[in-house]
């Protein structure tokens, strides 16, 4: 698997090693150039010294030279060589170190020295300087010189010219250059290794917070979803990752909590009535001789069974809706008539509770949909509105067609116990405001069923709470499907 | 023995109350957590049967508050949730036992009895002394091997005094254990019960089993 840390260490190490090697090469080159320049300067100085020692007298060029002063030109220690020629090519003087050998005669241009490389008579590689010069007069009153000046007063060129080649072995120079490059490379290599270690340490240190986050993520399980990741001290680059991980944890915690609540709610919805029936039957059986007790217990058992039946029916309807089954044929329905039909079923309840119903319905509104499913939606919405409305309050039902071929149905009622944060949970399965789930009339599936059915019918459903007058409004919105079919009588 | 049943389901509350009452318990019932806490605070119970999901005040909070008040009454929790984590949480909060719904009434009854025995440091369901054998499970009594017919309150009084052998039990404590809260018995009911009980369990010519400590209460002496 690819490792960012390994890649970083590798790439940074190789990069820094290459840079160090380049830096070594550049600095080595600079030092080499300097050394070679110094070598040339020394050669040039030595050549100038030889030029200074070369004189002419009566047209004869001669060199006042003593081996003792310059032992490098001796036969015994032949390190350097020189040879001086007259302009005619005649050898004027040569170092004893040359013995039988010769140096190449090369002429510098315009009095400038000329440097070149060549094999020395002793077979070593050498560096040469060649220059042309006019040897100075030994005596300014040399009659030969005066004669020459009189013959050619415009120029002193009639003095005899000479050329010099001076050579020196370069093995020391080349050895020095090689050792400089070797030292540079060694320093570059050492630097690269040190940098690799440093980079490795820095990268590991830099990645430590990430490793810590990974370690903490590794310790998370379904029991620790409430914990949140934290990087101390905060790291700018990790902050978005940690924030997103924490958001993920929050969502997971919510999902787990919903799942846990769902399991608990299902358990409560099913186990409580079963426990009731079991206890009722066992107590009834134990004191079966008491007719009054048996009658009371049977009555309770019938109520419990009825409640269970409603719960099971809702769960089945829910399962069918979620599975997308039971989608019958669509038909065109007058919405007002259908609402009236559902309201008539609520008549007794509303009268006993003193609930008023305010209708503001579009009489001509026709919705083309699946009748049975839509009735289930309406009945559940109205059941909720009637059951949770305080006594003597009003329920408002509004329907209208929208210009874009859609319809809106709003059912609102007072919900004094509801809080804004509850609205998000209203359509969750088994959610109830009362965590104890004591109200035996509801199982908490009604609105979840409404949402599933609306989804199946292609409608949207939303709820909102007006916190000023604590009025809950459920809005169903969707396409009327007008024109598909003619409406039938309800 | 007196128990408190805190359960929001009306039918369960009624059937449990009736079943326990007919089994010889004095039973108080509460439909929500607030009422349950109020009962538990102000009356003495041998055990409390507590539902977990309750309106107003949930069972777990009620239990914690009860323990915070240093109430040592044994609590048997009823819940639809039976996961190990739920049980551990409840036991750590101070519950003494746990039953997952649905449950058998006989099991609830047996567990309640076990809790009551524990509250009196009794390990055996049969209390034997002075020739008497009291079976606290079947609520039956034998005197020297022969059954003794006792009415509910007589048996209740004998069990209260037998479980507290060696300790004087006041008249008020006896009434508290024999009658549900809010019931006002006649003023000399305890004396009448002691009188009728003595007649049934006292062999002729022997020292009295139930002793009267005038102005303090009654006791059965320890073995």
Name the nearest CA neighbour of B54 among B69, B72, B39, B44. Answer: B39
**Phi (first) and psi of residue B143, to 5 degrees:** -115, 115
User: pLDDT above 90 covers what percent of chain A?
Assistant: 16
Decide if pLDDT at A78 tops 70: no
Whether residue B103 and residue A296 make contact (CB cut-off 8 A), yes or no, is no
- pLDDT score, position A490: 45
Whether residue B105 and residue A304 make contact (CB cut-off 8 A), yes or no, is no
Please count the residue pairs, one from chain A and one from chain B, whose beta carbons lie less than 8 angstroms apart: 91
Go through chain A and tell me how many residues it has.
490
CA atoms of A282 and B104, how far apart (whole Å): 8
- The torsion angle over the Cα atoms of residues B80, B82, B87 and B89, rounded to 10 degrees, is -70
- pLDDT score, position A41: 93
- B34-68: per-residue pLDDT in tens? 999 999 998 889 899 999 888 889 899 999 999 99
Mutant choice from A436, A437, A439, A441 vs B, greatest count of B C-beta within 10 A = A436
Buried b (16+ CB within 10 A) or exposed e, A342-355: bbeebeeebeebeb
Angle subtended by helix axes B10-22 and A291-323, to nearest 10 = 150
Over range A232-236, report the average pLDDT: 83
- A322-350: per-residue pLDDT in tens? 676 555 678 888 999 999 888 887 665 55
B32 vs A: CB within 8 A: yes
Confidence band, pLDDT 50/70/90 cuts, at residue B6 = very high
Least confident of A57-71, A73-87, A188-202: A57-71
- pLDDT score, position A469: 86
Distance from CA of B124 to the nearest CA of A (A): 25
For all residues of chain B together, what is the average pLDDT? Answer: 87
| Chain A positions in Cβ-Cβ contact with residue B55 (cut-off 8 Å) | 434, 436, 438
Output the pTM of the full model: 0.54
CA atoms of B26 and B3, how far apart (whole Å): 6
What DSSP string describes A275-338?
Answer: HHHHHHHHHHHHTTT-HHHHHHHHHHHHHHHHHHHHHHHHHHHHHHHHHT-----EEEEEHHHH
Whether residue B102 and residue A271 make contact (CB cut-off 8 A), yes or no, is yes
- pLDDT score, position A12: 85
- A369-397: per-residue pLDDT in tens? 888 888 889 988 998 888 888 888 889 99
Does residue B131 come out as left (phi exceeding 0), alpha (psi in the -120 to 50 range) or beta?
A: left
ipTM of the modeled complex: 0.75
Whether residue B53 and residue A274 make contact (CB cut-off 8 A), yes or no, is no
Least confident of A21-30, A102-111, A323-332, B71-80: A323-332
Greatest CA separation for chain A: 171
Whether residue B19 and residue A283 make contact (CB cut-off 8 A), yes or no, is yes
Mutant choice from A273, A275, A297, A433 vs B, greatest count of B C-beta within 10 A = A275
């Amino acid at each position: 698997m690819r490792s960012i840390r390994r890649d970083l260490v590798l790439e940074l190490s190789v990069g820094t090693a290459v840079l160090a090697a380049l830096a070594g090469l550049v600095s080595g080159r600079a030092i080499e150039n300097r050394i070679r320049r110094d070598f040339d300067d020394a050669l040039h100085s030595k050549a100038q010294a030889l030029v200074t020692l070369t004189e002419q007298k009566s047209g004869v060029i001669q060199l006042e030279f003593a081996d003792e002063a310059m032992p490098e030109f001796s036969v015994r220690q032949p390190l350097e060589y020189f040879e001086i020629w007259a302009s005619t090519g005649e050898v004027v003087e040569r170092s004893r170190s040359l013995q039988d050998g010769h140096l190449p005669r090369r002429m510098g241009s315009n009095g400038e020295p000329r440097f070149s490389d060549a094999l020395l008579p002793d077979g070593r590689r050498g560096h040469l300087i060649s220059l042309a010069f006019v040897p100075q007069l030994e005596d300014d009153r040399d009659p030969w010189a005066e004669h020459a000046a009189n013959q050619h007063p415009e120029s002193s060129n009639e003095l005899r010219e000479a050329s010099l080649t001076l050579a020196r072995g370069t093995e020391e120079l080349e050895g020095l250059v090689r050792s400089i490059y070797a030292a540079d490379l060694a320093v570059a290599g050492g630097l690269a290794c040190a940098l690799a270690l440093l980079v490795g340490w820095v990268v590991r240190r830099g990645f430590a917070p990430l490793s810590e986050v990974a370690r903490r993520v590794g310790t998370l399980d379904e029991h620790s979803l409430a914990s949140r990741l934290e990087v101390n001290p905060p790291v700018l680059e990790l902050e978005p990752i940690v924030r997103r991980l924490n958001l993920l944890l929050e969502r997971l915690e919510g999902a787990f909590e919903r799942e846990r609540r769902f399991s608990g709610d299902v358990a409560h919805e099913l186990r409580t009535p079963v426990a009731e029936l079991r206890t009722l039957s066992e107590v009834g059986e134990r004191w079966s001789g008491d007719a009054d007790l048996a009658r009371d217990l049977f009555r309770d058992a019938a109520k419990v069974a009825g409640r269970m039946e409603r719960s099971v029916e809702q769960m089945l309807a829910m399962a069918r809706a979620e599975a997308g089954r039971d989608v019958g044929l669509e038909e065109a329905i007058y919405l007002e008539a259908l609402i009236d039909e559902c309201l008539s079923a609520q008549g007794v309840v509303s009268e006993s509770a003193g609930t008023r119903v305010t209708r503001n319905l579009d009489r001509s509104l026709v919705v083309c949909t699946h009748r049975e499913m839509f009735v289930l939606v309406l009945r559940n919405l109205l059941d909720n509105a009637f059951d949770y409305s305080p006594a003597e309050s009003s329920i408002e039902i509004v329907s209208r067609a929208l210009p874009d071929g859609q319809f809106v149905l709003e059912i609102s009622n007072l919900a004094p116990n509801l809080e804004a944060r509850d609205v998000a949970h209203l359509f969750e399965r088994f959610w109830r405001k009362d965590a104890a789930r004591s109200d035996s009339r509801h199982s908490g599936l009604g609105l979840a069923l409404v949402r599933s059915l609306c989804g199946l019918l292609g409608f949207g459903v939303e709820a909102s709470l007006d916190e000023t007058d604590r009025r809950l409004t459920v809005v169903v919105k969707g396409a009327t499907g007008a024109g598909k079919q003619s409406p039938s009588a309800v | 023995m007196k128990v408190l049943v805190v359960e929001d389901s009306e039918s369960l509350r009624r059937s449990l109350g009736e079943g326990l009452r007919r089994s010889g318990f004095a039973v108080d019932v509460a439909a929500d957590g607030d009422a349950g806490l109020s009962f538990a605070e102000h009356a003495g119970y041998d055990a409390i049967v507590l539902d977990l999901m309750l309106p107003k005040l949930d069972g777990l909070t009620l239990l914690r508050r009860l323990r915070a008040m240093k109430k040592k009454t044994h609590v048997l929790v009823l819940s639809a949730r039976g996961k190990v984590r739920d049980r551990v949480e409840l036991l750590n909060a101070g519950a003494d036992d746990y039953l997952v719904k649905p449950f058998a009434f006989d099991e609830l009854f047996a567990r309640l009895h076990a809790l009551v025995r524990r509250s009196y440091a009794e390990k055996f369901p049969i209390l034997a002394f002075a020739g008497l054998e009291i079976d606290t499970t079947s609520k039956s009594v034998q005197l020297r091997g022969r059954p003794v017919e006792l009415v509910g309150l007589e048996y209740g009084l004998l069990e209260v005094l037998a479980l507290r052998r060696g300790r004087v039990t006041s008249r008020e404590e006896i009434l508290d254990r024999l009658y549900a809260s809010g019931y006002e018995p006649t003023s000399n009911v305890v004396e009448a019960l002691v009188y009728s009980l003595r007649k049934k369990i006292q062999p002729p010519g022997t020292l009295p089993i139930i002793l009267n400590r005038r102005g303090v209460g009654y006791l059965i002496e320890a073995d």
